[in-house]
Chain A
Amino acid sequence: GDSVTQMEGPVTLSEEACLTINCTYTATGYPSLFWYVQYPGEGLQLLLKATKADDKGSNKGFEATYRKETTSFHLEKGSVQVSDSAVYFCALRASGAGSYQLTFGKGTKLSVIP
Chain B
Amino acid sequence: AAGVIQSPRHLIKEKRETATLKCYPIPRHDTVYWYQQGPGQDPQFLISFYEKMQSDKGSIPDRFSAQQFSDYHSELNMSSLELGDSALYFCASSIRTSGSSYEQYFGPGTRLTVT
- The interface of chain A, by Cβ under 8 A from chain B, is 32, 34, 36, 42-46, 49, 51, 89, 93, 98-107
Contacts and interface: CB of A to CB of B under 8 A. Distances in A.
Nearest to A42: B108
B77 to A, nearest CB: 20
Given A42-B108, A43-B90, A106-B41, A101 B101 contact: no
Interface residues of B, number: 26
Interface of B: 31, 33, 35, 41-45, 48, 50, 55-56, 58, 90, 92, 94, 96, 101-109
A32 B103 CA distance: 9
Given A43-B107, A43-B109, A100 B42 contact: no
Contacts of B31: 100
Contacts of A44: 43, 90, 92, 106
Contacts of A45: 106
Contact of A101 (B41, B56, B103, B109): B56
A44 B48 CA distance: 17
A98 B48 CA distance: 11
A36 B42 CA distance: 11
A110 B63 CA distance: 36
B103 A49 contact: yes
Nearest to B104: A102
Nearest to B50: A100
B102 A93 contact: yes
Given A101-B56, A103-B45, 18 more contacts: A32-B101, A43-B90, A43-B106, A44-B106, A46-B105, A98-B55, A98-B56, A99-B56, A100-B55, A100-B94, A100-B96, A101-B48, A101-B58, A102-B43, A102-B92, A102-B104, A104-B42, A105-B42
Contacts of B58: 101
Contacts of B92: 44, 102
Contacts of B55: 98, 100
